[in-house]
C-alpha cells in the first residue's frame, strides 16, 4: 500500500501524524509525507520521506487577525467575508491542492491520510479516486461546521470537475479518548496517543523524584509568533510567588529572550522535549494547544489553561468538562487568580489530579498505531463501516 500523509507547515500537526506514518512504514507500506516547503526539514528529521507541495503561507499573519479586536458593525477582515478560521484553511488548501493532486496521482497512492485542517488532502484524494482518511490532532472542532466548509470549498472543488467535498473523509483516526472528545457521528478509528516533540535530548539532571510539587509552564509556539505581548509566562511565574513549588519553564530558543528576571525556584529548559519534562511534574500551566494538553494528560498531569485562540479554547473546554483541569479566560488570568488555582491544583487531593490519571489510563487502552495501520489496509472492512 502506498500512503500519502499531509498537513500544512506547522510542526505540531506533523508530530500528531508521525506515529501512524511510522507504523505504516513498519508494516511494510510505502509512505510519503507531503507538505509546504517550510516543513520539509522537520519531516526529514522525523525519519520520514518528504515531498514539497505548494508554497508557504503566512500562518502567523492570518492567526494574528484572530486576536484583533472586533468593532461592532465593522466588516470582517476575513477573505470574502468568510470566518477567519475558514480563510486559514482555504489559503493553505489553495496553496497545496494542485501540487498535492498531481503527487497523489503520479505516485499512484492508494490512500491519503490528512490533518483535519489540511483540506487539500480529501480534494487531492478524490481527484485521484482513492480514499481519504482524516487524522485528528485534538478535539474534533471542525465537525460542527461541516456545512460551512462544504460551501466555502465548493469553488475549489469546482477546479477538479465539481468533485463532492467531504471534510470528514472516509473515516476519522482519533487519538483523543472518548471522555474528552466532541460527540459526533463520524466513523472513528481510535488510536493511542503517542507524544512526539521533535528531535531533542531529554533534559539532564531532571529528577522525577522531588521534595515538593513541580509546575511546568509551556506556552506552545503560536502565541509568541503572533503577538509576544500575549506570551504570559512571566505572569504565571509571578503567580507562583509564595507557593511551595518548583517551576520549570519549557520554552523555545526564540522565546527565551521574552523572559524577564526569574526567581530562584524557577528553572528554564530551552528546546527540550515536553513529554519527559511533564513526566516529572505535577501540573501544566499553558495555552491550551492540543499537543501539550494531550501530552500532559498522557502523563496523568492536570492542567491550568489560559486559551487565547479559538482552537485552544475548544481543546481547553474539553479538559475542563472532563474535570482534568481548570480553564481561565485571559481577562481573568491575573497573578492573584492564577496563584489560587495553582495552589489548589498541586494539592495531592485535588480532584483534577484523579481525573487526569483516569484520562491517562483511558489513553493507554486505545489501539496502538500498528493496529490502526493494519485497519487501513481494509477500508471497506467492518471496522470502518460501523456507525
DSSP string covering 67-90, please?
TSPPPTTPPP-SGGG--HHHHHHH
Q: Classify burial at 354, counting beta carbons within 10 Å of its beta carbon; exposed 0-12, middle 13-18, buried 19 or more.
A: middle
In 3D space, the residue among 42, 63, 60 whose CA is nearest the CA of residue 52 turns out to be: 42
Q: What CATH number does the domain located at 214-364 have?
A: 3.40.50.2000
Question: Cα angle vertex 214, ends 208, 216, to 5°?
Answer: 100
pLDDT for 80 equals 45
pLDDT tens, N- to C-terminus, the chain (387 residues): 999 999 999 999 999 999 999 999 999 999 999 999 999 999 999 999 999 999 999 988 888 776 654 433 333 444 444 567 788 899 999 999 999 999 999 999 999 999 999 999 999 999 999 999 999 999 999 888 888 888 899 999 888 887 777 888 999 999 999 999 998 777 899 999 999 987 666 677 666 567 899 999 999 988 888 889 899 999 999 999 999 999 999 999 999 999 999 999 999 999 999 999 999 999 999 999 999 999 999 999 999 999 998 899 999 999 999 999 999 999 999 999 999 999 999 999 999 999 999 999 999 999 999 999 999 988 744 434 333
Contact 175, 192 (CB under 8 A): yes
Asked: is 2-193+366-385 a CATH 3.40.50.2000 domain? The reply is: yes
- Give yes or no on whether 2-193+366-385 and 214-364 have one common fold: yes
pLDDT for 199 equals 67
Cβ atoms < 10 Å from Cβ of 142? 22
Q: What is the DSSP string of 2-15?
A: EEEEE--S-HHHHH
Q: What ranges do the domains of the chain cover?
A: 2-193+366-385, 214-364
Contact 246, 267 (CB under 8 A): yes
Query: What are the counts of helices (DSSP H) followed by strands (DSSP E) for the chain?
Result: 15, 13
pLDDT for 386 equals 35
pLDDT for 208 equals 58
pLDDT for 385 equals 38
pLDDT for 159 equals 85
pLDDT for 207 equals 63
pLDDT for 75 equals 37
pLDDT for 85 equals 77
Amino acid at each position: 500500500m502506498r500512503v500519502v500523509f499531509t498537513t500544512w507547515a506547522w510542526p505540531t500537526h506533523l508530530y500528531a501524524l508521525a506515529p501512524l506514518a511510522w507504523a505504516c512504514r513498519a508494516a511494510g507500506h510505502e509512505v510519503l509525507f507531503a507538505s509546504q516547503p517550510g516543513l520539509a526539514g522537520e519531516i526529514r528529521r522525523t525519519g520520514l520521506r518528504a515531498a514539497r507541495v505548494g508554497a508557504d503561507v503566512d500562518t502567523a499573519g492570518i492567526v494574528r487577525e484572530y486576536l484583533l479586536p472586533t468593532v461592532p458593525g465593522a466588516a470582517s477582515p476575513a477573505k470574502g467575508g468568510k470566518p477567519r478560521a475558514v480563510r486559514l484553511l482555504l489559503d493553505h488548501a489553495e496553496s497545496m491542492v494542485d501540487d498535492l493532486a498531481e503527487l497523489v496521482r503520479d505516485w499512484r497512492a492508494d490512500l491519503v491520510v490528512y490533518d483535519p485542517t489540511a483540506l487539500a488532502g480529501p480534494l487531492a484524494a478524490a481527484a485521484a479516486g482513492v480514499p481519504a482518511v482524516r487524522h485528528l490532532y485534538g478535539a474534533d472542532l471542525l465537525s460542527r461546521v461541516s456545512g460551512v466548509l462544504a460551501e466555502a470549498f465548493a469553488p475549489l472543488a469546482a477546479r477538479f470537475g465539481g468533485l463532492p467535498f467531504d471534510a470528514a473523509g472516509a473515516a476519522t483516526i482519533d487519538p483523543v479518548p472518548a471522555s474528552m472528545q466532541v460527540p459526533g457521528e463520524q466513523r472513528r478509528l481510535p488510536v493511542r496517543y503517542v507524544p512526539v516533540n521533535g528531535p531533542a535530548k531529554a533534559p539532564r539532571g531532571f529528577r522525577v523524584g522531588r521534595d515538593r510539587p513541580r509546575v511546568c509552564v509551556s506556552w506552545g509556539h503560536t502565541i509568541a509568533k503572533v503577538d509576544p505581548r500575549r506570551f504570559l509566562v512571566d505572569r504565571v511565574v509571578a503567580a507562583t510567588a509564595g507557593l511551595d513549588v518548583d517551576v520549570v519553564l519549557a520554552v523555545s530558543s526564540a522565546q527565551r529572550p521574552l523572559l524577564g528576571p526569574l526567581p530562584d525556584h524557577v528553572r528554564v529548559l530551552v528546546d527540550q522535549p515536553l513529554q519527559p519534562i511533564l513526566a516529572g511534574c505535577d501540573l501544566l500551566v499553558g495555552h491550551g494547544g492540543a499537543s501539550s494538553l494531550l501530552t500532559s494528560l498522557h502523563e496523568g498531569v492536570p492542567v491550568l489553561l489560559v486559551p487565547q485562540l479559538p482552537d485552544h479554547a475548544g481543546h481547553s473546554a474539553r479538559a475542563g468538562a472532563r474535570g482534568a483541569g481548570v480553564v481561565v479566560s485571559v481577562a481573568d488570568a491575573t497573578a492573584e487568580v492564577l496563584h489560587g488555582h495553582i495552589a489548589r491544583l498541586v494539592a495531592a487531593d485535588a480532584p483534577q489530579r484523579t481525573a487526569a490519571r483516569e484520562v491517562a489510563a483511558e489513553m493507554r487502552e486505545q489501539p496502538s498505531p500498528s493496529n490502526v495501520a493494519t485497519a487501513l489496509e481494509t477500508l471497506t472492512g467492518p471496522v470502518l463501516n460501523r456507525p
